[in-house]
């Protein structure tokens, strides 16, 4: 194990989880037994480490060695891995495969055998896949299981072994997913692969939201006094979390708009009202930067587009304007009818954009070397793609030192 992790015999431990256990045992001068997982090359190995301090060193014993298959690097494998993170139900069993925990309302499930709740796939000798896996405390996948309640709903079960402190199987955590009544979900159809972005969003959004909320709480000292530098660190963490959350949203949108079958819905919209709504949503953010938002004049400008996507574009444009506006500056929002077009204008008093960068800024992952490191480099690219998908366009009129004017055009109703 030492050599496969890149070390040599007689030299410091090269396996970080094992080294951490050894350091702890030496520092506390007590024996420690702990289950651990180490990455060795393209495989993971689960094992039980027993470490006993001996005065001038440690005795280390390893048992329960169980190597996992290499991680799948193809799109189908990644899609399944992300699907596992958002199970429809999570069920846990004890070592005898009786249910000890189950999310969702299933009456009298606790304490019952797993077979009472699920009709499981059986092997050649009549054993269920979980019973076969339990013999070696291995993972398993049952793509042909059926939930016995609700009329026998087809499900897929991903089983993860739970190991106790001495390396023995303590039960299983089962991630249960609804599946189509026909077909094998372990060979994902193109629709499943196309839903990868949605799975990515679901997998990351919840933990990122928790990180942001907790970091904001620390930064605001809601739970009591905190050193200023720690509060500043928490504020930086919250900011980084928000950046990652925005990137997740943009990546999901990017996948959607680049799908050849992407078609936004088209309906009558009031572009002036959407401008007022987007400006209202960002008023507090603007005030925090001492920036004023000038709302459109009363009245309506009716266009034909996707209501939600137009609001998304306008929020992106106004957010950018706030980011680039100086304290005390003003952002102007205007809407008008020009021939057969409905037009929205977002103008700011920032540093402006050199003409040679007007097209470059609409490219993917282009941020024009923003000093504050903000933005994902996808917002304007997505906004223009959305505008063009709805029969309109998005352009900019600006020069260095003169602010920027973004113009969204859509077909008039």
Assess if residue 184 is contained within a domain: no
Domain boundary pick from 178, 200, 234: 178
pLDDT in tens, 157-193: 888 888 765 667 888 888 888 775 444 444 444 444 4
Number of domains in the chain: 4
170 lies in the same domain as 248: no
The reply to whether 366 falls in a domain is: yes
Shared domain for 214 and 344, answered yes or no, is no
Alpha-carbon gap, residue 209 to 275, rounded angstroms = 27
Q: Does 104 map to a domain?
A: yes
Do 293 and 398 belong to one domain?
yes
One domain for residues 390 and 300? yes
In a domain, 183, yes or no: no
Q: Are residues 123 and 250 in the same domain?
A: no
Q: Does the residue 20 lie in any domain? A: yes
Residues 207, 143 share a domain: no
Expressed in percent and rounded to 5, the helix, strand and coil fractions of the chain are: 35, 30, 35
194 & 92 share domain: no
Give residue 190's pLDDT.
43
Q: What is the pLDDT of residue 74?
A: 46
320: tokens are: 């950018």
List the 292-294 sheet strands across, edge first. 292-294, 330-338, 341-347, 404-411, 393-398
Q: What pLDDT is attached to residue 85?
A: 52
Domain boundary among 14, 37, 68: 68
Query: Containing domain of residue 24, as a range?
Result: 3-68
Q: What is the DSSP letter of 337?
A: E
Whichever domain contains 159, its CATH number is: 3.30.450.20
Same domain, 350 and 237: no
State how far the Cα of 281 lies from the Cα of 271, in Å rounded to an integer. 15
25 is a domain residue: yes
Residues 330 and 359 occupy one common structural domain: yes
Please state, in angstroms and rounded to a whole number, the distance separating the CA atoms of residues 76 and 187. 8
pLDDT at residue number 88: 73
Answer yes or no: is 185 within a domain: no
Counting every residue, how long is the chain?
413
Domain boundary among 223, 258, 293: 258
Q: What is the CA angle 279-281-287, rounded to 5?
A: 75
| Residue owning tokens 């019952």 | 112
How far is Cα 6 from Cα 72, in angstroms, rounded to an integer? 23
- 163 HSE (CA, 13 A, CB side): 22
Q: Residue 70 in 3-state DSSP?
A: coil
CATH code for position 282: 3.30.565.10
N-terminal to C-terminal alpha carbon distance within the chain: 69
Q: Which residues of the chain have pLDDT under 50?
A: 70-80, 82-84, 105, 181-194, 371-373
Instruction: For residue 316, tell me if it sits in a domain.
Output: yes
Residues 58, 154 within the same domain? no
- Do 293 and 320 fall within a single domain? yes
* pLDDT at residue 332, rounded to an integer: 94
Residue 327 phi, psi (nearest 5)? -55, 135
Q: Are residues 130 and 196 in the same domain?
A: no
């Amino acid at each position: 194990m030492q050599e496969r992790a890149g070390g040599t015999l007689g030299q410091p431990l090269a396996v970080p989880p094992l080294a951490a256990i050894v350091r702890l045992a030496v520092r506390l001068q007590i024996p420690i037994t702990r289950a651990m997982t180490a990455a060795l090359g393209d495989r993971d190995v689960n094992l039980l480490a027993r470490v006993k301090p001996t005065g001038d060193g440690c005795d280390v014993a390893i048992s329960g060695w169980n190597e996992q298959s290499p991680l799948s690097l193809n799109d189908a494998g990644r899609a399944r891995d992300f699907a596992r993170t958002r199970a429809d139900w999570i069920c846990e069993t004890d070592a005898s495969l009786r249910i000890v925990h189950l999310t969702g309302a299933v009456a009298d499930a606790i304490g019952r055998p797993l077979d009472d709740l699920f009709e499981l796939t059986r092997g050649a000798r009549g054993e269920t896949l979980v019973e076969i896996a339990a013999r070696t405390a291995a993972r398993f996948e049952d793509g042909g299981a059926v939930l016995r309640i609700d009329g026998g709903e087809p499900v897929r079960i991903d089983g993860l072994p739970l190991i106790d402190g001495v390396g023995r199987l303590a039960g299983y955590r089962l991630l249960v997913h609804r599946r189509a009544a026909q077909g094998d979900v372990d060979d994902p159809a193109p629709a499943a692969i196309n839903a990868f972005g949605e799975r990515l969003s679901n997998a990351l959004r919840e933990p990122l939201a928790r990180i942001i909320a907790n970091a904001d709480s620390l930064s605001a000292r809601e739970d009591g006094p905190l050193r200023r530098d720690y509060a500043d660190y928490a504020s930086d963490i919250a900011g980084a979390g928000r950046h990652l959350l925005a990137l997740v949203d943009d990546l999901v949108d990017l996948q959607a708009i680049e799908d050849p079958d992407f078609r936004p819905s088209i309906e009558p919209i009031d572009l002036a009202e959407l401008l007022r709504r987007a400006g209202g949503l960002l008023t507090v953010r603007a005030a925090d930067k001492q920036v004023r938002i000038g709302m459109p004049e009363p009245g309506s400008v009716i266009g034909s587009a996707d209501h939600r996507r137009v609001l998304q574009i306008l929020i992106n444009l106004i957010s950018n304007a706030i980011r680039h506006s100086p304290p005390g500056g003003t952002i102007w929002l205007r809407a008008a009818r020009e021939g057969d077009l409905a037009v929205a204008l977002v103008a700011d008093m920032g540093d402006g954009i050199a003409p040679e960068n007007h097209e470059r800024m609409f490219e993917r992952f282009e941020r024009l070397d923003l000093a504050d490191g903000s933005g994902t480099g996808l917002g304007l690219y997505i906004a223009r793609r959305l505008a063009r998908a709805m029969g309109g366009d998005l352009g900019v009129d600006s020069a260095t030192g003169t602010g920027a004017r973004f113009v969204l055009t859509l077909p008039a109703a």
